A and B are shown apart, each in its own frame.
Chain A
């Protein structure tokens, strides 16, 4: 069964460094999302992406964040200059069409030291 994949599973970085989290959504899905979950808290929406552009973003998704779908298969989240409070699990999700379930990847645990 097709699934969303994410790499790496765990990333450790120093404060101020740039990180790129990678996701491969399910083939033929049209809508793509990033979420984060700080340890012990709820899952929070960051950004949605459709037709090669951002369709919606939350207050969390500030200028330090960017997303790309560079080659039709990968979907990346870049954090330009990481802060301690960026430490969280980051989930990628994809959806085949409107009004359908979002399929989540296994997540990348980001630790900022």
Chain B
């Protein structure tokens, strides 16, 4: 079974600052990817970014980027120039080489952006 650790249950960050959300995982799969999802207070799950384990470069999607360290099994989400609308729960979810498995989510980080 996969174990996903998000060590920051809650974070307060000033608007416009960059923020790093931690995620480490324990999987024996040699081929896997990792997703980050955002869940605002309205409850929906919003896909943010994906990193494939064989990707040479860290994934980037607008203000979101991943600091992927395969050997350490960590994939931290970096949000640059945070905005008030970034306040939400953030979940990471690695998935295995099958590519179609159900996702196992971490417990999440509750990010609050302060003006």
Q: Which residues of chain A are near B100, meaning CB under 8 Å?
A: 31, 48, 50, 55, 95, 98
Q: Which residues of chain B are near A65, meaning CB under 8 Å?
A: none
Decide: A101 and B50 in contact? CB cutoff 8 A: yes
Secondary structure of the B side of the interface?
A: loop
Whether, in the assembled complex, B106 has its beta carbon less than 8 Å from a beta carbon of chain A, the answer is: yes
Q: Which residues of chain B are near A101, meaning CB under 8 Å?
A: 35, 47, 50
Chain B: interface size category: 20 to 34
Interface residue count on the A side (C-beta < 8 Å): 28
Decide: B107 and A42 in contact? CB cutoff 8 A: yes
Whether, in the assembled complex, A85 has its beta carbon less than 8 Å from a beta carbon of chain B, the answer is: no
Decide: B102 and A106 in contact? CB cutoff 8 A: no
Contact digits for B54-66, partner A, Cβ 8 Å, 1 yes 0 no: 0000000000000
What are 6 A-B contacts with C-beta separation under 8 Å? A42-B106, A43-B91, A45-B102, A46-B102, A95-B100, A99-B52
